[in-house]
Chains A and B, each alone.
Chain A
Amino acid sequence: KAGVTQTPRYLIKTRGQQVTLSCSPISGHRSVSWYQQTPGQGLQFLFEYFSETQRNKGNFPGRFSGRQFSNSRSEMNVSTLELGDSALYLCASSLQPGIRGETQYFGPGTRLLVL
């Protein structure tokens, strides 16, 4: 079974631009979560989607948004990019939320560099 896939793997943008990242979960998984990893803040939760609905949201500004499609694929968008948005963006999938002992599986990440 294929793992979580993320595209693109690497991206370079300039300040003020916007970017869209894509995540395809493991087949059969319907929950997708996004995380941001920076050297200073570590791994931080952005948001979680299930059944095309945002279920949880971390403490990030409104410039960060996401959505989920009916096939469980998810995208996240960052508008008006800032230098501090340079990070590794990770997507994780699981069967569905609320299952005790459920495991999240991570993709390889998208490395975003903002110049």
Chain B
Amino acid sequence: DAKTTQPPSMDCAEGRAANLPCNHSTISGNEYVYWYRQIHSQGPQYIIHGLKNNETNEMASLIITEDRKSSTLILPHATLRDTAVYYCIVNSGNTPLVFGKGTRLSVIA
């Protein structure tokens, strides 16, 4: 079973920031938080990952709470092409990725 909990769906207006939450209250000390997204019928696309510090790359920002029990993926200026299912996964790098149902993000014009 997935070790994360995500809302099943979210809407976001185009051009606004999309904030996708994830709960991972049982995360262990050696596990990272990974985010992937899957646009319809394509392979999952890696977005970002982090251990305990906030991370930013050209696609998104990842904010991890100090107790590491939850995190938020931020897409700063959502576009229609960001419509996808977003998966939050905790993984140590030594085990297979366990995907939950993810959050279906709909970006609305």
User: Using a CB–CB distance below 8 Å, which chain A residues touch chain B?
Assistant: 4, 33, 35, 42-45, 48, 56, 58, 88, 90, 92, 97-109, 111
- State the main secondary structure of chain B at its contact with A: loop
Question: A58 near B41 (CB under 8 angstroms)?
Answer: no
Q: How far is the CB of A41 from chain B (nearest CB, A)?
A: 10
How close is A27's CB to chain B, nearest CB, in angstroms? Answer: 17
B42 and A103 form a contact (CB under 8 A):
no
Please, what's the 1-or-0 string for B90-109, where 1 marks a CB less than 8 Å from any CB in chain A? 00111111111100000000
Residues of B within 8 A of A42 (CB): 99-101
Within the complex, the shortest CB–CB distance from A47 to chain B, in Å, comes to 9
Interface residues of B in 30-71 (CB under 8 A from A): 30, 32, 34, 36, 41-46, 49, 51
Closest A-B pairs by Cβ, 8 of them: A106-B43, A43-B99, A45-B96, A102-B93, A106-B44, A100-B93, A98-B94, A109-B43
Beyond known contacts A103-B49, A104-B46: 9 more, CB 8 A cutoff: A33-B97, A42-B99, A45-B96, A90-B43, A90-B44, A99-B93, A106-B44, A106-B46, A107-B43
Which residue on B lies nearest to A107, using beta carbons? B43
Residues of B bordering A, CB below 8 Å? 30, 32, 34, 36, 41-46, 49, 51, 87, 92-101
Shortest CB–CB separation between residue B39 and chain A, in angstroms?
11
CB pairs A–B below 8 angstroms (24 shown): A4-B43, A33-B96, A33-B97, A35-B97, A42-B100, A43-B97, A44-B99, A48-B96, A56-B96, A92-B44, A92-B97, A97-B94, A100-B32, A100-B92, A100-B93, A100-B94, A101-B93, A102-B93, A103-B46, A104-B97, A105-B46, A106-B45, A109-B41, A111-B41
